Structure 1
Amino acid sequence: MNRTPVVARVAKALGLTIASLSFLSACDTAPPPPPAVKANVKVLEVAMKEVTPSNDFVGRTEATQDITIKSKVRGNLLKTNFEEGSIVEEGALLFEIDPAQYDAAVKASKALVAQAKAAYDTAVLNFKRGEGLIKDNFISQSDYDNLLSRKLQTAASLQSANAELDNAKLELGYTKIYAPFTGRISRAAVFTGDLISPDQTELADLVQMEPVWVNFQLPEKVLIEAQRAHKSVTTPFKLSDFPVKIKFPDGTMFDEVGKMDFVDNRVDATTGTLAIRAEFPNKEHIIVPGLYVTVIIESPEMQEVMLIPQRAVQEDQQGRYVLTVDKKNMVGRRNVELGQRYGIDWEVEKGLEKGDLVITEGLQKARVGAEVDHEMDTVQPFSDTQS
């Protein structure tokens, strides 16, 4: 038997084994991989800031006086004396109704007054004569009583005639309709020659532009918080101490500051809110009735709160959180409870302490438990350029 092929195969196998061992030995001596590159982030130190606490509500403007002008007498419209849509002053003549029949009624009433006055004067004169005659028994007591009765009757008739004259003059005065207050008037709803019915025909609308009201609703939660805050301060605040500002739908602020002048006496059971009203001067007549605005109520005193930028806050299924950097440059997670917003910043109620370093830039590169390189963020929360 030829053993040469067998020996060759064994030698080949041994060679492969030795080569494998040599390769593994070479792998054991390879250089270690380079260290991982640290992420670069920017951080901001959590600090306390003085702010003016405020709350925002949806409000609607309302005129302090808003009336529909009607006539108290019947007649044809003679003249309209105003420019539609303009501001009319208190006492300005607005409408004139044909006064002919009412002028005639005044003249007739004056004639009746004159007749009643003449009858009364005669009755007084006869009564005075009767007083002298009855003393000397020239007339009977019955005649004297008739003279007294006549005087009293004519006095009553004169008083009634004067009342009729006053009423006629009053109705004549109603033929001219004046503005009861200064305000903006609408388009006239009638035209010259139209027959006006008393207390029925609407002539125009008049709204007072200065001052103006803003109505809004205060939620139950805010109401309870305000009551607690009121008890905690040493000097209780009055309703008028809280300045009220409004923001227009285009985002601009109204220049003038208002004050609350009415708080309802009960919470609406259907909405869970309390009706509040604020009054604004509106000297330039910028606010018009029926406008939706944002009502901003500010606290009368400053408060110190903890603020962080909104860009540092993230949110997942567990809620809102921020990433922090500790003294060993390790990234950590802090769940936070946030309060009001101030410009581009959030108020932190729970979750952070003064002096903590919060990551504001590089959040995508930072991983919880990883080491990072960091530098301080130069943008401070609630700066003048951001608020």
Structure 2
Amino acid sequence: MSQPIDENAVRPERGKAGPLKTVFVSLMIMLVGIALIWLIFKTEPTATRKDTARETAMLVDVQSVSRGRFTPTVEVMGQVVPAREVTLGSRVGGEVIHQADAFTPGRRVEEGAELLRIDPADYEAALQQQRSELQQAKADLELEQGQQAVARQEFELLGEDIEAVNDALILREPQLKQANARVAGAEAALRQAELDLARTRVRSPFPAQVLSREVTLGSQVSAGQSLGRLVGTRQYWVEATVPLSKLRWLAFAADPDSPGASVNLHHDTVWPAGQTRTAQLTQLVGELDGNARMARVLITVDDPLALGEAEGKPPLILGAFVRAEIEGRPLDDVVRLERNLVRRNNTVWVMEERQLAIRDVEIAFRDDDYAYVRSGLESGDQVITNELSSVVSGARLRLEGDGNE
């Protein structure tokens, strides 16, 4: 009989070789790492003191400034309002028998253009009656003048002296005065009748745009009744509010014939890009705005609808809010900087001999774009225009074109 074979007795011992192999691989990796680190340190460039100073200097952009005469701008918001506005009222009563096509909201009418016509029949009859009464009064006057001449002749034939009082009575002077008064009254009544007839034709008092119409063909109107609303087209106003602190920088017109400060108007959401209108600062209204407690000013715009000299410019719309850039009084011997270049606490960063200098400045005026520096900067100073990561007086600076130093 064959003996059973013990498999465990003939299986080789494989567990002893595994740990040795792992140790060997780890040792090789560590040796390779040590060799690489040594190589890196061996080949690293040596930094000199000069290169280190250039590397740590902050890169800046600068702008050279100069002192001079500059004109600031005061920017405000204003509303377009009519400079001349009228509500047409009927001077006489009657039926509207004619209406002009131009008498429609939005249409423009010339000065003297007929807008409405009221039935003139009653006023023509009244005129004819007054003419007749005038002729009668003139005839009565002629008769009285003849009677006065006869009385004078009779008085002269008597050849007697009569007191002055009796003289006036004998010569019929009171009767002559009455006749003259009746003629004057008849002439006045005739003129009134002529006026009433002329007023049956309602005309535009000036070049205007029709904003509203309250009657139409066939309407019965009475004296004093409103017929419509017109605004003049020669000028509009922009009524703006200005902070009280900025009033002293504005130059108003000394009289109606002299121009005030120049103004540029912008209607950013309506007009094409870059389109503006020029105007003049006219008047300070002697009342504060009730809500904002700011001063009210009037800006005059000629030819607001661009019908004449301003042809090609965008028209103004009544009631619209526009942005107005008012030219202020000139400032002499100041430096003009962009507003963002004036840093915290009214300081400016300046490059002096490649080092940072922090200057305290006195601001004469600020508008929406610029600050006008009265003191603290001189012509030729190089103002730093970019932001810096650290702001320390005396820090080293460099420009883009600087070479190795």
Q: TM-score, normalised by structure 2?
A: 0.67
**Residues 163-242 of structure 1 correspond to what in structure 2 (within 5 A)?**
163-199=188-224, 201-224=225-248, 240=258, 242=260
Between the aligned partners of 1:129 and 1:86, the Cα distance in structure 2 is 67
2:95 to 51, 70, 76: 76
Between the aligned partners of 1:325 and 1:304, the Cα distance in structure 2 is 22
Task: Please state whether the residue corresponding to 2:212 is helix, strand or coil.
Answer: coil
Task: Please state whether the residue corresponding to 2:77 is helix, strand or coil.
Answer: strand
Q: Is residue 296 from structure 1 mapped to residue 325 from structure 2 by the alignment?
A: yes
Q: Is residue 65 from structure 1 mapped to residue 84 from structure 2 by the alignment?
A: yes
The residue number in structure 1 matching 2:398 is 374
Q: Percent identity?
A: 22
The residue number in structure 2 matching 1:159 is 184
1:250 to 240, 248, 268: 268
The residue number in structure 1 matching 2:118 is 97
Q: 1:171 to 1:269 in 2, by over 3 A?
A: closer
Between the aligned partners of 2:229 and 2:196, the Cα distance in structure 1 is 22
- Residue type of the alignment partner of 1:244: S
Per-residue deviation, residues 7-63 of structure 1 (Å, max 9, x unmatched): xxxxxxxxxxxxxxxxxxxxxxxx9x9759525422314411543233223333332
Per-residue deviation, residues 68-123 of structure 1 (Å, max 9, x unmatched): 00111111111112422222111111110111111111111122222222222222
Q: 1:223 to 1:188 in 2, by over 3 A?
A: closer
Q: Is the 8 A contact 2:241 2:289 kept in 1?
A: no
Q: Is the 8 A contact 1:244 1:278 kept in 2?
A: no
For structure 2, the residue ranges without an aligned partner over 5 or more in a row are 1-43, 308-314
Q: What is the CA distance between 1:129 and its match in structure 2?
A: 1.7
For structure 1, the residue ranges without an aligned partner over 5 or more in a row are 1-30, 231-236, 378-387
**Residues 1-387 of structure 1 correspond to what in structure 2 (within 5 A)?**
37-38=55-56, 40-48=58-66, 50=68, 51-83=70-102, 84=104, 85-137=106-158, 145=170, 147-199=172-224, 201-224=225-248, 240=258, 242-250=260-268, 252=274, 254-258=276-280, 260-263=281-284, 268=288, 274-282=295-303, 284=306, 286-299=315-328, 303-315=332-344, 319=345, 321-327=347-353, 329-331=354-356, 333-334=358-359, 336=361, 338=363, 340=365, 345-349=370-374, 351-361=376-386, 363-368=387-392, 371-375=395-399
Q: Is the 8 A contact 2:59 2:397 kept in 1?
A: yes
Q: What is the CA distance between 1:155 and its match in structure 2?
A: 2.5
Task: Please state whether the residue corresponding to 1:158 is helix, strand or coil.
Answer: helix
Q: Which moved more, 1:92-101 or 1:209-218?
A: 209-218
Q: 1:218 to 1:371 in 2, by over 3 A?
A: closer
Between the aligned partners of 2:150 and 2:254, the Cα distance in structure 1 is 74
Q: Is the 8 A contact 2:289 2:295 kept in 1?
A: no
Q: Is the 8 A contact 2:266 2:277 kept in 1?
A: no
Between the aligned partners of 1:225 and 1:153, the Cα distance in structure 2 is 69
Between the aligned partners of 2:392 and 2:136, the Cα distance in structure 1 is 108
Between the aligned partners of 1:62 and 1:241, the Cα distance in structure 2 is 20
Q: 1:144 to 1:192 in 2, by over 3 A?
A: same
Between the aligned partners of 1:376 and 1:306, the Cα distance in structure 2 is 25
Q: What is the CA distance between 1:307 and its match in structure 2?
A: 3.3
- Count of paired positions: 332
Point out the structure with max Rg over C-alpha: 2
Between the aligned partners of 2:99 and 2:287, the Cα distance in structure 1 is 46
Per-residue deviation, residues 199-256 of structure 1 (Å, max 9, x unmatched): 1x211111112133333445443344669xx9xxxxxx96746532132231755343
Between the aligned partners of 2:186 and 2:370, the Cα distance in structure 1 is 78
Between the aligned partners of 1:143 and 1:226, the Cα distance in structure 2 is 73
Between the aligned partners of 2:338 and 2:172, the Cα distance in structure 1 is 100
Q: Is the 8 A contact 2:361 2:373 kept in 1?
A: yes
Q: Is the 8 A contact 2:263 2:325 kept in 1?
A: yes
Q: RMSD of the alignment, in Å?
A: 4.0
Q: TM-score, normalised by structure 1?
A: 0.70
Per-residue deviation, residues 107-145 of structure 1 (Å, max 9, x unmatched): 11122222222222222222212221232249x979963
Task: Please state whether the residue corresponding to 1:256 is helix, strand or coil.
Answer: strand
Q: What is the CA distance between 1:188 and its match in structure 2?
A: 1.9
